[in-house]
A and B are shown apart, each in its own frame.
Chain A
Amino acid sequence: MKLSSSMAYSSADEMMFGTAKYPVETKRGLKIGGGHVIPEIVPHPRPGSEKTIKTLLREYERANGDALERCVIVGHPYLQVENEHVFQMTHNPKWGGEIAAQTARQMDDYKEKYGLISAYRATVADLRKPDMVGMRDSDYTREVLESFEECAKYADIISIESMGGKEIFDHAIIRNDVGGLLFGQAVLGGLDMEWMWTQIVEIAKKHGCIPGGDTNCAEANTAMFMAGGFISKDVPHTLAALSRAICVSRSLVAYECGATGPSKDCAYEDPIIKSITGIPIATEGKTSACAHSDLCGNVIGAVCDLWSNEAVEYHDMFGASTTAVFTEILGYDVAAMNSSIDLGYQKEFQACLINSDRYRGPHGFMLCPDNAWEIGKAVVDNNESLYVRGKAAAVKCGELMLGDPNLKLTNFEKESLEAYMKDLEALPDKEEDFIDLSLKKYGKVKGFKPASYGL
């Protein structure tokens, strides 16, 4: 695998929502990154519906169907539906395949009857918990790969939220250990993704399906949600931002293995990924408050190509079912973005999105297009190894946070960040030295098996 060595965009100024350097087109003609933003709705089944394939099929038939119907009711021209597998859908690979097939039939019907252009993304659940199974050889590993096979027959796009390095990350994030984040996220995560994504891309090719992308939900999002809002005391926001920068090293691997995007919505690292790869990206912000809270509700949409809601459990609201309601909200959000594009006001609209959250907190700041591009540039300029580029991303992110006086940090956040920068500086230059050091330091972390990563 060749590590990325150049930027897709020569400056952040070229990056805009709705347009990607390398757009993709789905089976029913949905162009993602082709000039306009597309809403992506993610329904989640109610507890209890996962008991049998019959009840789950019925749940998704209604949840996905309500979303398609609402597009027709209010006139949204395009929609992508994503189903993130619940455990049972991947544990029983045929289940995920049957749900994909059912949704594909619904989408064909809506296209034929109304002309609605839609696409389906199947996101397989990564059942492999690193401290519990061999990542490359376990029943769960086989189920994950089989599930991709089943879903790729019917879905437009396949994706995953892979778990490599999670055992080290969990140990490190609650111990203020930025070196542990680098080892877990950049090195182990990247090695696992290379192993996994080589196979996913092959499966997608075999079935004429698009290999979408990955997300560091299991790690960088854990850090971001632990950092929380303005009253949480779990993890410093500055550490969460460094974790986000580090994860670029591993999330990029999917595209280096042949994935083409669209990336996953919960990959908040996506603006950085887009700056490097030019692939279309999915993002989520204010519209994902139904699933979780973040401090980048608008800015994260500044360069998106799909605009998502993360996940909403299917149940009734005053206005209709949740999936109908959130499809309407997402569709109107992108209608405003797309109007700005067609009016030629997109730069002004983008400036509003960015200024809303640029200084709300470290995450919103680092994900502004200018800073995202700078971090991306540090990654490609240091493409010697997964470790070296992850460390370069973290250092650049830290420099940006410390270098802009308008980004206010509490004393604790600032002191923490200065300490992380010293920790980063003290780490070895070479990946092999860093791995040797890490194997000694983390060898006793519960469940860590170097062989899971080919080490």
Chain B
Amino acid sequence: MNYLTDTSNIFTRYDLNIEVAQQGARKVSGDEILQNVADFVINGDEDGIADVVKETLETKTPMEVINDGLISGMNEVSRLWDEGIYFLPQVILSSDAMNMGIAICEEKMGRSMDKKGKVVTHTAEGDIHDIGQVIVNALLNANGFEVVNLGADVPVDKVVEACRTHNPVMVTGTALMTTTMTAFPKIATQLKRLNLNIPFVCGGGAVSEEYVTGFDMGIWGKEANQAPGMAEDALGGDEWQAMRSKWNG
């Protein structure tokens, strides 16, 4: 069979045209020891970070390691992803490394570090397609939020109860199927009835903007990577109407 070598009239490989030149990570700390911690995060080295954090804790306080090493490194990872240099797996591996480092610091402190705020996440009742939620969880976690992960196939009442108990800044719902996303307006109705005015971000698969903006509190999430930005808005006090007008429409 003949295979064409000039395919320019058949398709255009835009990915080749737009590839961002590989760049090294920037320095994030003036302190060589803390920069080393940050580098383990930037390189997503979960295997090696435990030793380096333990070693650093001999000369630095846990909060210094967290803020100026682990979180600074993660911020650099976010920048690399935003600029199209890093792919999602690199972000996840960095997040894993950061979390492991934080756990060691917390052990030394004898308490958990303060998180920015809570976000309740779930995948709709009857739906077991939760990889979108897994990514949302990882990204929220990487950005300093406490994730209350309810998992997949979660009944409406359980989501509402979690919101009542945890009083999160935001709640998210993921669904692949149109026949399971029907749980979302039920959740919104119950939250409203209980006067829990929590922005409710819904997305995934066949979940459409038209559907989600058809009920109060609903904000459509097009991509998982929007979740941290949305959570920041909610944390900053934006109500669902303001968030909807910013992110949707």
- List residues of A whose CB falls within 8 A of some B CB: 13, 44-50, 86-88, 91, 127, 129, 131-132, 163, 170, 173-176, 222, 226, 230-231, 233-236, 313, 347, 350-351, 354-360, 370, 406, 408, 410-412, 416
| Residues of B contacting A: mostly | loop
Closest 10 CB pairs of A and B: A87-B126, A230-B15, A129-B128, A176-B89, A230-B14, A86-B179, A234-B88, A47-B178, A50-B179, A174-B92
Interface size class of B (residues with CB under 8 A): 35 or more
Query: Would A129 and B153 count as touching, CB distance under 8 A?
Result: yes
Query: Would A231 and B87 count as touching, CB distance under 8 A?
Result: no
CA distance A416 to B89 in the complex (A): 11
Residues A351 and B1 in contact in the complex (CB < 8 Å), given A44-B178, A47-B179, A410-B16: yes
Q: Which A residues lie within 8 Å of B92 (CB)?
A: 174-175
Q: Which B residues lie within 8 Å of A230 (CB)?
A: 13-15, 18
Query: Would A174 and B10 count as touching, CB distance under 8 A?
Result: no
Q: Which A residues lie within 8 Å of B126 (CB)?
A: 86-88, 91
Please encode chain B, from 72 to 101, with 1 for each CB lying within 8 Å of some chain A CB and 0 for all others: 000000000100101111101100100000
Please encode chain B, from 105 to 116, with 1 for each CB lying within 8 Å of some chain A CB and 0 for all others: 000000000000
Residues A175 and B93 in contact in the complex (CB < 8 Å), given A231-B14, A231-B18, A410-B19: yes
Shortest Cβ distance from B128 into chain A, in angstroms? 4
CA distance A50 to B4 in the complex (A): 48
Q: Which A residues lie within 8 Å of B13 (CB)?
A: 230, 360, 408
Q: Which B residues lie within 8 Å of A91 (CB)?
A: 126
CA distance A282 to B142 in the complex (A): 41
Shortest Cβ distance from B11 into chain A, in angstroms? 5
Total A-B pairs, Cβ < 8 A: 115
- A–B complex contacts, Cβ < 8 Å, 19 sampled: A47-B178, A86-B177, A87-B177, A87-B179, A129-B153, A174-B134, A175-B89, A175-B93, A230-B18, A231-B15, A233-B86, A233-B88, A236-B87, A350-B1, A357-B11, A358-B4, A360-B11, A411-B22, A412-B19
When C-beta atoms are compared, the residue in chain B nearest to A174 turns out to be B92
When C-beta atoms are compared, the residue in chain B nearest to A171 turns out to be B134
Query: Would A313 and B206 count as touching, CB distance under 8 A?
Result: yes
CA distance A231 to B84 in the complex (A): 9
Q: Which B102-131 residues sit within 8 Å CB-CB of chain A?
A: 126-128, 130-131
